[in-house]
Homo-oligomer: A and B are copies of this chain.
Amino acid sequence: MATFDDATAVTARPDGTTFDVELDRGWTIGTGRPNGGYLLALLGRAALETARRAGAEQQHVIAASVQYVTSPSVGPAVVDTEVLRVGRSASQVRARLVQGEQVAVQAAFTVGHLRRDVDPYWGGVDPVTLPSEAECRPLPTPPGDDGDEPTFRQQVDERFDPSGLGFVDGAPGGRGELRTWFRFSDGREPDTLSLLFVVDALPPATFDVVSTGWVPTLDLTVYVRAVPAPGPLRVRFRTGLIQDGLADEVCEVWDSAGRLVAQSTQLVGIRIPDGPAG
């Protein structure tokens, strides 16, 4: 299994804006298709490298908006990037993942500089409350999954608040909210880049409302608000409105020091089976 850093490695071609990448089979969602947050982090790494080569002094992705166009396969792919602006406090880079002749993912990144150990000037949201890691539960292995088929879930140590896991037994809690502790399985500590993955590393929050097939992400946006401290992250993932075949999902991530380090929102497609609301 490739580590997160190996799986998101990018190799620049001589033009300095095109990168060869290898989509790793250890970071898929079980269908053999790469996880969306993994792809976003990979594109973010290319965008940071492109910004650096263009003279940008900022080192962190502070905002990323991404559209998933077609689901790529594991294996080789190409990232092409374009600098939109190099600024004093923020720079902007567009990046897209191409496989064959097909654009698979399109994203835009704002690159900035986040100071360490910064305090809120105003606001902030108290970290989500959830039982201790020892009292929380990993997702069960799907029936029939004998471990031969690798997925990104083997790379992460997620411990969910059991009160949000009713969907596993066919009894969604009805609050539209999942809560989990998050660590990388290999002990890698979180950084700003990996937060682009973390916000898309949970099952759909809609599963706590209604059991459906997979819900494809149409548009996802992440803001990275601080450099995370070492240690486990706490993640809350909520849906607000399920309507007309679409749902929004908001993810918030706090570091071990209790600071809000990432916020994201996504719009997903959802196909509701016949029957009353859960």
Contacts and interface: CB of A to CB of B under 8 A. Distances in A.
Interface of A: 62-63, 65-67, 69-70, 84-85, 89-90, 92, 94, 103, 106, 108, 110, 112, 114-115, 118-125, 176, 209-210, 218-219, 221, 223, 225-226, 239-246, 248, 260, 263, 265, 267, 269, 272, 277-278
Contact of A108 (B65, B84, B246): B65
Given A62-B267, A65-B108, A267-B62, A243 B119 contact: yes
A205 B78 CA distance: 40
Q: Looking at chain A's contact residues, is the secondary structure mostly helix, strand, loop, or mixed?
A: strand
A263 B226 CA distance: 24
Contacts of A263: 240-241, 248, 265
16 contacts: A63-B219, A69-B85, A90-B269, A106-B108, A110-B219, A119-B243, A121-B242, A122-B209, A122-B243, A122-B277, A123-B176, A124-B240, A124-B241, A225-B248, A240-B263, A241-B263
Most buried by B among A84, A121, A263: A121
B267 A265 contact: no
Contacts of A218: 62-63, 90, 92, 110
Contacts of A110: 67, 218-219, 267
Contacts of A89: 245, 269
B221 A65 contact: yes
A67 B90 contact: no
Nearest to A114: B244
Contacts of A65: 65-67, 108, 219, 221
Nearest to A221: B221
Given A65-B108, A67-B108, A223-B248, 14 more contacts: A62-B267, A67-B110, A69-B85, A90-B269, A94-B106, A106-B108, A122-B239, A122-B241, A124-B241, A221-B265, A225-B241, A225-B248, A226-B244, A263-B265
A4 B92 CA distance: 29
Nearest to A206: B122
A248 B125 CA distance: 12
Given A108-B67, A176-B122, A226 B240 contact: no
Contact of A221 (B106, B219, B242): B219
A108 B239 CA distance: 23
B70 A85 contact: yes
A119 B122 CA distance: 36
